[in-house]
Amino acid sequence: MLGKRLERLWPTTPRSAFVTAFAVSLLGGVAINLLLAPFVGRVGSFGGLRHDGYWELATNVAQGNGYVFEAGDPPVFHRPPLVPALFAPLTLLPAFLHRTALVVMHSLMIGLTSALMFDFTRRVFGGSAARWSLALLLGYPFLYWHVRNPMNVVIQTTCTTIVLYLLGRELLAACQRDKPVGNLAAPWRTVLLGLAAGAAILTHGTMLLSVPVLLAATGIISLRLGSIRTLRISLTAGLIALLTVAPWTYRNWCVSGRFIPVVGGAGLQYYFGHVHWGFDGRDDSRQQWARVIAASEVGTTEMLKFCGYTDPALDAMANRRMVQDVQSHPGRFVKRAALNAVEFYLPIVHDVLLPNWGTWRNHVEHVLQSTWHLGLLALVGAGLWRNRRSRAASAGWIAVGAIVGLSACYCPFVTCITLCQYCLPTLPVLAFVGATAFSCRPAVNSEDVPVDQEPVSERFRRRRVGSGQGQVALTAK
């Protein structure tokens, strides 16, 4: 009874979900700035090496110095451009407003992410599940630490959610369970999806792999549904995304003389993982970057800035060493990919294997993160099992496929970093599936679907299949 009453207090529309998520995120970010950050000694931590130089790039872009970390530096090619471009206007504010302005921007992003996730969950699993998904998303405690930091992860999460939402709506329209987004014509939906996909790619280098995987998977599913239109939309959106990224690729060619679609630095990140997993024979984090350079055999740290080379020749050399190492030690490459896959949600695994790495504070963080992620994964499993015979069961498995597509692209080369930032873009999808462990009633009445959406039960009819057989199939009118 109490649970039902509490559930009714949660938002019932995407708009109210946006307002709730924005308010909670804003309060969470401000509370961390005022209370938690001073307690853990991070009150003055804003920008710098800890935050990968995004704020420094934004500052120099706003000042007209170009895409550099400092005026007079070589052009940067190992950081994607979208996040610094969005941060740039904030850097023009007085310094004491920077953190607050950033929290407001990120809270708006969290609000948009929550509204889209809420709306899609309601369309597929019903209003009750939508409210549970919002609770799971906003209940993720590490979200609010990301809200206060000038990093790419919140914007990447929002762009990824937009892409997933648009793809999901296309699949619902393909099986005639929903109207297209905004009742837009297919060309406009294609352009919208393509621009969203391009924006997602420009938030992080791995999205160059993840986004095509998501588009291709949608195309394959659309073939299974017999929707050539959805297949065309996926393919054309991919081309639009390619055109969106092309100017940045050309810019990288001009400043580096190399073909770098989004970002460089793959080789250096590879050897960072080499040291991270102790493949150099040590189990501590002392002299970490010196060991990374030694492993890559590049031989100098002079052109190293914000975890990447500013000299294209050194970056190319690190990439060649990476290819040679993979060819020479394929088993070790597979092992590190498997370890990265486990650490993606369970960072405590690294502490168990290398107990001398990090501080006691890192160990506590990893225990809390791993415990929370295990709970979310357990809810995902429970939701899939509970609704295995539901007509909406396939939606859960497609969402799991999206999680795999988003996470698998990190595992071969990119190693886990602080507060599991890389797994945050998968959080809305985890909440979408995990909510079905509490409630899953496929939208069949006006309470669970938008007022302008025809109930699913009215758009589907049962027909007998075969002559004399008792099979029943659910097909679209």
Q: Is 468 part of a structural domain of the chain?
A: no
CA angle, 263 as apex, 258 and 269 as ends, to 5°? 105
Q: Is 473 part of a structural domain of the chain?
A: no
Question: Is pLDDT above 50 for 428?
Answer: yes
Q: Write down the H helix ranges in 300-359.
A: 312-328, 330-345, 348-353
For residue 437, the surrounding DSSP H or E stretch is none
Among residues 189, 161, 198, which one has the least CA distance to residue 81?
198
Q: Is 294 part of a structural domain of the chain?
A: no
* Long-range contacts of the stretch 465-474 (C-beta < 8 A, 24+): 474/391
Q: Is 356 part of a structural domain of the chain?
A: yes
pLDDT digits (tens, 9 = 90+) for 452-477: 343 333 333 333 334 343 333 333 33
Question: Is pLDDT above 90 for 5?
Answer: no
Q: Is 386 part of a structural domain of the chain?
A: yes
Q: Is 312 part of a structural domain of the chain?
A: no
Question: Is the Cα torsion angle 432, 433, 438, 439 positive or negative in sign?
Answer: positive
Among residues 277, 272, 308, which one has the least CA distance to residue 292?
272
Domain range for 141: 10-265+337-441
Whole-number pLDDT of residue 462: 36
- Burial class of residue 51 (count of CB atoms within 10 Å of its CB; 0-12, 13-18, 19+): middle
Residues 227/228/230/234 CA torsion (nearest 10 deg): 140
> How many CA atoms, within 13 angstroms, populate the side-chain half-sphere of residue 99?
18
Question: Is pLDDT above 90 for 39?
Answer: no
Average pLDDT over residues 106-116: 98
Whole-number pLDDT of residue 460: 36
Please, which residues have CB within 8 angstroms of residue 31's CB and are 6 or more apart in sequence?
A: 144
- Are 106 and 411 a contacting pair, CB within 8 Å? no
Torsions phi, psi for 460 (to 5 deg): -120, 150
- Name which of 113-117, 235-239, 321-325 the model is least confident about: 321-325
Q: Is 179 part of a structural domain of the chain?
A: yes
pLDDT digits (tens, 9 = 90+) for 399-413: 999 999 999 988 888
Number of domains observed in the structure of the chain: 1
Q: Is 195 part of a structural domain of the chain?
A: yes
